[in-house]
Homo-oligomer: A and B are copies of this chain.
Amino acid sequence: MSFLFDHMREVNFQLHNVLESEQAFSGGVFADYTPETMSAFLETARAVAEDHYLPHYQTGDQQEPAFDGEKVHLLPELADAWRAFADAGFLSAHHDAEHGGMHMPQTLNSACMSFFYGANISFSGYSLLTIGAGNLIRSFGTEDQIARFLAPMTDGRFAGTMALTEPGQGSALSDIKTTAELQPDGSYRLKGHKMFISGGDQSITENIVHMVLARIKGAPEGVKGISLFICPKVRVGEDGSLGDRNDVALAGLLHKMGYRHTTSTVLNFGENDNCEAFLVGEPNRGLSYMFQMMNEARINVGLGAVMLGLAGYHYSLNYARERQQGRLPSCKDPLSPQVPLVAHPDIRRLLLAQKAYGEGALALALYASQQVDRIELADDGAEKKRLLGLLDLLTPVVKSYPSEYGLEANKMAIQVLGGSGYIREYPVEQYYRDNRLNPIHEGTEGIQGLDLLGRKVVIDGGASLKLLLECIAEDVRLASEDVVGEEITIPVAESLDLVGRVTRTLTGKMAEDVDLALANATLYLDFMGRVIIAWMWLRQARAAKLALNEEPEGNQADYYQGKLQAARYFMGRELTRTKEQANILMGFESSAFEMQDSWF
């Protein structure tokens, strides 16, 4: 049995005990999502992931996609996996009925996706991008665009990509150079080069819909002159029929350290001046549209990193339980039997840290997903805006914390296995290689830090940060009422003041010297990540405590005890670092800021 079975218990705890989803979904547009319905979807996701995603995880890494100059070849089994995913409805489930979906709440949708990410993150890039691209078309496209492009993306005939990055620009989107020229028929012709385009070519769908950022000739410089286009690999007639190839050429595949199922491509648009594309929404608003997709993608990247972290955790836990090795320092009898690895305190630390990182970050990814549903359910615009602000504030942490600590967890999983962890006969080294992408794509850690400190905590006079601190304070109050121990509640309560002081100090510097104020933004991101994950552990501890009050039996009681212990670990070993970080931040530690290029 794979760890996806264990993961079902975890998902149920998060959805029901922590997020109280039944209550959240009742009475509104999600009223059909009863516990039974939720369970059925989750079980389908688990089964499809188990049968179609998991078996190819290692094979697809060993036999990475290859380009013969004409066509990209993928492991043939992956086309079947794609078909199984589409047939189970997961490309369309979140859409409303009008767009062929089931209006699935995002909380449940993320929970379902977690099984696929856990089984094979490396292949999940295709579906993640297709769903994101489709959502852009649904939100900003015309009815005709929806019919021609979204419909075949929801049934799996077409896939989607997001084509932002260019060779000369990297993270700096304002320097995009790809051009778009209006044609008499209202369409555009694109010309330019894109790089690191995930899923930019493959052999599993009939067509690929690239969502491309480009400048219409004569548009303003910088971010205000970027527009969004639909650019299909194969032209699509008005009736939806496939035409001839569009002028989008695969210049080559990039060969990654991991995450190899999903191709990474260099694409040339308009080499023959005949690259047809269609404007989405209004001209020059492309970047703000794309941010919708990027925010979704960021939450998904976070969730993917979580699942790699948890996959490594469960694998190394099982290994540590089975593998007999050595004795405790107190044992002086060499004839006594060896003990399992898990009996060694340092191995338990490696396991408990993985659990704390993975399940803490899972709680956050699902909490953020629940905000999407709460925004939809909110009665008025002001409340929607308030909740959207909170979600926007959380997004850089949802993306970055799991990327950093999911990777750290995978490093620890290797360490538990020792020499075996370093060889390809075991899966943990692949988790580690795959996870190394996550702190890079969809905005590096550095970019997320600037987004959080330079934008999200200052917007609207800091309203979203205020709301976040209120939410944490309310959870501290509830946890204290439910007699969660002070070793868990007090550290979180103390963090509230610290976050306020640090943030005021840093943002207070912005008017005076914005470069210095933001110089340690990546450290601020980690600082906030620790506080927010500590909050997630407080919430889980409360849920576990309430569940223990019901006197569950055997295994289940042990599981809740584990939740409380992981919360203690997090407060005692991870949140503790925030005081040092606060000192560095409030002191504007500037050794790197002042370092001169010539001194290196």
Contact = CB atoms under 8 A, between A and B. Distances in A.
**Interface centre among A170, A324, A330, A513, by most B CB within 10 Å?**
A170
A454 B329 contact: yes
Contact of A591 (B330, B347, B573): B573
Contacts of A415: 439-440, 444-446
Interface in A325-366: 325-330, 334-335, 338, 340, 342-349, 351-353, 355
Contacts of A568: 591
A522 B429 contact: no
Given A411-B436, A573-B591, 4 more contacts: A170-B323, A172-B326, A349-B522, A579-B580
B264 A423 contact: yes
A589 B572 contact: yes
Nearest to A521: B346
B424 A257 contact: yes
Interface of A: 165, 168-172, 174-175, 195-196, 221-223, 254-258, 264, 317, 321, 323-330, 334-335, 338, 340, 342-349, 351-353, 355, 411, 414-415, 418-419, 421-425, 429, 432-433, 436-437, 439-441, 444-446, 449-450, 454, 513-515, 518-522, 555, 558-559, 561-562, 565-566, 568-569, 572-573, 576-577, 579-580, 583-584, 589, 591-600
A170 B446 contact: no
A196 B346 contact: no
Number of copies: 2
Contact of A170 (B171, B221, B418, B595): B418
A59 B222 CA distance: 42
Contacts of A353: 592
Nearest to A345: B519
A584 B568 CA distance: 13
- In the complex, the 6 A-B pairs of residues with the closest C-beta atoms, listed nearest first: A222-B334, A562-B599, A172-B326, A349-B592, A569-B591, A345-B519
Nearest to A404: B411
Nearest to A174: B334
B419 A165 contact: yes
B436 A598 contact: no
A257 B422 contact: yes
